Copies of this chain bind each other. A is one copy, B any other.
């Protein structure tokens, strides 16, 4: 199994943490976005959308897209369970994983894309939209503070894929000066520390 990834991008990191939690071995090929390696004709044959990560199976089949890869790994390696053990828990984890993606990862990525010098001259940027998303993320941190004051993990009493998504989103926020303030958001900061202490997060 071969993972095409960029060590600094948040979506490949979701998959690396997931694979580490599952204790699954795999090989990697680095596709560095900073070097525009994801834009080459060679990589576009793996993914015409020029996005990371991509998983290539030993038989040559290819899966694009972080969560599709994680779900497939969960099917092949059901334990430890990260997507839910029964219908209601699976629904809760799906809801929280989607909240983490739609309310954190995508907005934070848009702050980075639309305001950071890294992308200048590489993509069209709309700084106004970056500001709008920065404000949205601040509000979402307040909401999460309230939620995480009530339970240790996003979707309940145990770690799940939703925590992986939220961790990768918030850690990626550093590139856009988005950080948790433990003084104002103690429950969110405690959750962040709890999750960051897992060895998988170094993957």
Would you call the interface of chain A mostly helix, strand, loop, or mixed? helix
- 20 chain-A/chain-B pairs, Cβ below 8 angstroms: A48-B143, A48-B146, A49-B103, A49-B143, A63-B95, A64-B99, A65-B95, A65-B98, A68-B95, A69-B91, A72-B88, A72-B90, A72-B91, A76-B87, A114-B129, A126-B126, A126-B128, A126-B129, A128-B128, A128-B129
Q: B-facing mask of A122-144, CB < 8 A → 1, else 0?
A: 00101011001001000000010
CA–CA, A116 and B78, complex, Å: 45
Residue from B69, B75, B99 within 8 A of A65 (CB atoms): B99
Residues of B within 8 A of A106 (CB): 106
Copies of this chain per assembly: 2
Output the least CB separation between A42 and chain B (Å): 18
Chain A residues at the B interface, C-beta cutoff of 8 Å: 48-49, 61, 63-65, 67-69, 71-72, 75-76, 87-88, 90-92, 94-95, 98-99, 103, 106, 114, 124, 126, 128-129, 132, 135, 143, 146
CA–CA, A103 and B64, complex, Å: 13
Q: Beyond A49-B143, A71-B91, A124-B132: 5 further Cβ-contacts under 8 Å?
A: A63-B91, A65-B99, A67-B98, A71-B94, A126-B132
